[in-house]
């Protein structure tokens, strides 16, 4: 009887152990498949029609192809409408994602969006469009921001304008008063990066010794609004507008389209108003080479894509976002600033080929 009891006990133990091994194997299978499946990343963009945002998307696709099997990006067009973007975020979170990359439409709505993402415990990287304050990002331990240094971009815009004025003021100074009258197409009135670009551009021009006068300051980033605003300003000021400083190429292109309707910026240097922008998008570079636009500061879409990929993969793995990378956080401890040191420039008044200029700066990546 004892022998039979021991045998039954031994069989029971074997049965329990085999069941345990099967369960462990099932768990191992799940772990292996999770490790080999590509990370699912939802990329929410302001608007597919924004040239620079489209460039970032193209570069993220290139990064995905270069890292086959590691990441899978799904792109959503916010159509410049926060309600549209909110619905897209809800859908993606409900379906399940490993990471959110957020080019937010309404920067003032960042806290509400952050709260929703936080409920799903999904890491998030906001980029390019910075919340009005760092508070929403700091409210969630799995959130960071990646952007650029607005002051650097503004200084570079000013440098191009200063160089053109010093070499060709006889063409630019339409009213011969030896004062540079300029229009500033700023961007959103409460956008910290736009404000930094504006402040830096103005101060750099002031420090150069050139007498300058701001004719008008216009807000928002859209091409159609810049086009309409430039037409209205030209009707009001005409030859008092001698330079246009746009804080991105989208607005610069809108301004140039408006000027061309009045016979300006079509190749005749006697009827050309220098326009500078930021992003160095392909359409802007084409206009620069044609002599219809003075220059543009590079925002490196590839650098954005690489930073989003490297920090994002760290966050998916539960690591510090900047671990093993070249990036550092700024004073906020949640924001990474990509440096801007290059510009694309051609003085249409003196001729010659377009050049890629650089300035020395502290690398704060």
Domain boundaries, the chain: 38-141+301-338, 151-298+341-358
Mean pLDDT of 338-358: 90
* 350 vs 23: CA distance, rounded Å: 76
pLDDT given for residue 36 in this prediction: 66
Which of 13-27, 46-60, 80-94 reaches the highest mean pLDDT?
80-94
Contacts made by residues 96-99, CB under 8 angstroms, sequence distance 24+: 96/40, 97/40, 97/41, 97/42, 97/122, 98/39, 98/40, 98/41, 98/122, 98/123, 98/316, 99/39, 99/40, 99/41, 99/42, 99/123, 99/124, 99/125, 99/312, 99/315, 99/316
Tokens 């990646």, residue? 146
Mean pLDDT of 275-300: 95
Mean pLDDT of 186-205: 87
pLDDT given for residue 351 in this prediction: 87
* 8 vs 19: CA distance, rounded Å: 16
Is residue 215 a contact partner of residue 241, using CB atoms and an 8 Å limit?
Answer: yes
CA nearest neighbour of 272 among 347, 197, 216, 200: 347
Residue 65 has pLDDT above 80, yes or no: yes
pLDDT given for residue 219 in this prediction: 67
Residue 10 has pLDDT above 50, yes or no: no
Q: What is the mean pLDDT of the chain?
A: 88
pLDDT given for residue 24 in this prediction: 38
pLDDT given for residue 362 in this prediction: 42
**Model-level pTM?**
0.77
pLDDT tens digit string along 118-154? 999 999 999 999 998 899 999 999 999 999 988 999 9
Percent of the chain with pLDDT over 90: 74
- How far separated are the first and last CA of the chain, in Å rounded? 77
Mean pLDDT of 101-123: 95
Tokens 């879409």, residue? 301
pLDDT given for residue 40 in this prediction: 98
pLDDT given for residue 187 in this prediction: 83
Is residue 266 a contact partner of residue 258, using CB atoms and an 8 Å limit?
Answer: no
Least confident of 20-29, 32-41, 105-114, 274-283: 20-29
Q: Is 345 exposed, middle or buried (0-12, 13-18, 19+ CB in 10 A)?
A: buried
Q: Is 60 exposed, middle or buried (0-12, 13-18, 19+ CB in 10 A)?
A: buried
* 303 vs 338: CA distance, rounded Å: 8
Q: Is 187 exposed, middle or buried (0-12, 13-18, 19+ CB in 10 A)?
A: buried
Choose between 153 and 29: higher pLDDT.
Answer: 153
Instruction: Give CATH for domain 151-298+341-358.
Output: 3.40.50.2300
Residue 263 banded pLDDT, cuts 50, 70, 90: very high
Residue 190 banded pLDDT, cuts 50, 70, 90: confident
Residue 163 has pLDDT above 60, yes or no: yes
pLDDT given for residue 360 in this prediction: 55
356: β partners: 344
* 349 vs 129: CA distance, rounded Å: 35
Q: Is 59 helix (H, G, I), strand (E, B) or coil?
A: helix
pLDDT tens digit string along 165-179? 999 999 999 999 999
Class of domain 38-141+301-338 as given by CATH: alpha beta
Residue 26 has pLDDT above 60, yes or no: no
Residue 226 has pLDDT above 70, yes or no: yes
CA–chain centroid gap for 337, Å, is 11
């Amino acid at each position: 009887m004892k022998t039979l009891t021991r045998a039954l006990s031994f069989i029971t133990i074997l049965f329990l152990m085999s069941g345990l091994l099967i369960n462990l194997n099932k768990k191992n299978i799940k772990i292996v498949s999770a490790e080999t499946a590509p990370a699912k990343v939802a990329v929410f963009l302001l608007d597919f029609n924004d040239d620079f945002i489209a460039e970032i998307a193209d570069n993220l696709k290139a990064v995905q192809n270069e890292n086959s099997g590691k990441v899978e990006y799904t792109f959503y067009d916010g159509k410049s409408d926060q309600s549209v973007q909110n619905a897209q975020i809800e859908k993606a979170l409900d379906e399940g994602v490993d990471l959110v990359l957020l080019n937010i439409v309404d920067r003032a709505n960042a806290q509400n969006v952050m709260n929703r993402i936080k409920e799903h415990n999904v890491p998030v990287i906001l980029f390019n469009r910075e919340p009005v304050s760092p508070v929403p990002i700091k409210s969630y331990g799995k959130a960071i921001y990646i952007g650029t240094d607005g002051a650097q971009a503004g200084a570079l815009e000013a440098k191009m304008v200063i160089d053109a004025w010093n070499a060709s003021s006889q063409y630019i100074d339409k009213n011969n008063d030896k004062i540079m009258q300029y229009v500033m197409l700023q961007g959103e009135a409460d956008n910290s990066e736009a404000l930094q670009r504006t402040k830096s551009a103005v101060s750099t021009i002031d420090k150069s010794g050139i007498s300058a006068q701001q004719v008008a300051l216009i807000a928002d980033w859209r091409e159609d609004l810049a086009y309409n605003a430039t037409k209205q300003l030209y009707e009001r000021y005409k030859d008092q507008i001698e330079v246009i400083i746009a804080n991105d190429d989208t607005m610069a292109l809108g301004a140039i389209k408006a000027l061309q309707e009045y016979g300006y910026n079509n190749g005749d240097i006697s009827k050309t108003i220098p326009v500078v922008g930021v992003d160095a998008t392909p359409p802007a570079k084409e206009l620069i080479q044609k002599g219809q636009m003075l220059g543009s500061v590079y925002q490196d879409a590839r650098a954005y894509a690489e930073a989003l990929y490297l920090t994002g993969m760290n966050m998916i793995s539960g690591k510090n976002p900047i671990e093993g990378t070249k990036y550092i956080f700024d004073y906020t401890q949640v924001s990474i600033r990509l440096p801007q040191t290059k510009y694309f420039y051609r003085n249409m008044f003196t001729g010659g080929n377009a050049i890629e200029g650089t300035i020395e700066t502290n690398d704060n990546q």
